[in-house]
Amino acid sequence: MSKKVISNEALITEIERLIKEGSQVSFTPKGVSMHPFIRGGKDTVLLDKPERIQKGDIALARVAPATYVLHRVTSTTEDSIILVGDGNTVSMERCRHEDVIAVVTTIIKDGKPIDCHSRSHLRNAAIWRMLKPVRRYLLAIYRRIIL
């Protein structure tokens, strides 16, 4: 199967339509904001309709008009959701619950599926969050040695 590159706006519009129809959607994200859990241009994610958004979920969300992120939920309140990319060291985004378009249920890395709600994935993500003070250095090593 050949890969097709389309604009973010067109992609998100189509993902949103398919998710609302009840379909599961897969795509290969771009960028480095979710390293090391999702490698832009290499890994594929499977998206599903958001049921109950909770800490640890990876959400595709609208954070401003025509601005979308695929980032991890770090906290939720009745009014908003805070998202941070695993590969980010300082920036965070805030959105409303209704701005979440989909959640990642599976990451396909090197042809192997990783269940995003499995204990091991959530544990690894929690450990990664705790490493935030040194994440900058770990990411630099990761980018130089592994990438």
Q: What is the mean pLDDT of residues 59-75?
A: 94
Instruction: Determine if the pTM surpasses 0.85.
Output: yes
Mean of the per-residue pLDDT values of the chain: 92
pLDDT of residue 1: 60
The residue with greater pLDDT, 7 or 57, is 57
CATH superfamily of 8-146: Umud Fragment, subunit A (2.10.109.10)
Q: What is the mean pLDDT of residues 72-86?
A: 95
The neighbouring-strand residues paired with 70 are 60
Is residue 106 scored above 90 in pLDDT?
yes
Is residue 6 scored above 90 in pLDDT?
no
> What do you get for the CA distance between the two ends of the chain, in Å?
25
pLDDT of residue 90: 82
pLDDT of residue 142: 85
